[in-house]
Amino acid sequence: MKYLFQIFLVFMFFGCVSKEDKKPVITKNTIYKPSEMAVLMLKMYDANLENKKLILEGKKPTKFSEEFLNIHTATLTDPTDRDVAFKGYSDFYLQNYKIVFETDKDSLKLMHNNTINSCIACHKTTCIGPIPKIKKLLIQ
């Protein structure tokens, strides 16, 4: 029970449910269900954390995840977020992410950080909550 409450706190903190009218209503019978996009984002987070580890170990990431192309279609908590700018940020992120798998070893750190900065660029416009968490993916 304590554990469940912690998960709940994490969602409240990192999820984008802070806009006043969109607070999830949690009663005994309903439970906050993350959107397809939120689930995809968490996978993107894990994949980039994995890439960071590999790069720090001097290895080259090889598992480009086609699933992340779904950023263009996954349903959002707030569907009005998907405007022209959002599509632009999605393409920008995907382009940078692809380069990580194509670049030579010397540029890996730079290309990885470009990818993470493109996550942050979009988040500055739509969803500022997770930015401190995303920044941890940067390689110093």
- Contacts with ligand HEC by CB under 6 A lie at 11, 14-16, 34-35, 37-38, 41-42, 44-45, 48, 76-77, 81, 86, 89-90, 93, 118-119, 122-123, 126-127, 130, 133-134
3-class DSSP state for residue 139? coil
CB of residue 105 to ligand HEC, shortest distance in Å: 21
CB of residue 63 to ligand HEC, shortest distance in Å: 14
Q: Which is nearer to ligand HEC, 76 or 99 (CB)?
A: 76
CB of residue 70 to ligand HEC, shortest distance in Å: 12
CB burial string 5-41: b at 16+ within 10 A, e below: eeeeeeeeebbbbeeeeeeeeeeeeeeeeebebbebb
Q: Which is nearer to ligand HEC, 37 or 55 (CB)?
A: 37
Q: Which is nearer to ligand HEC, 16 or 111 (CB)?
A: 16
Q: Which is nearer to ligand HEC, 75 or 107 (CB)?
A: 75
122-138-19-78 Cα dihedral, nearest 10 degrees: 50
Report d(CA 53, CA 19) in Å as an integer. Answer: 34
3-class DSSP state for residue 69? helix
How is residue 15 annotated by DSSP? Answer: S
Structure token digits, residue 18: 């802070």
CB of residue 34 to ligand HEC, shortest distance in Å: 5
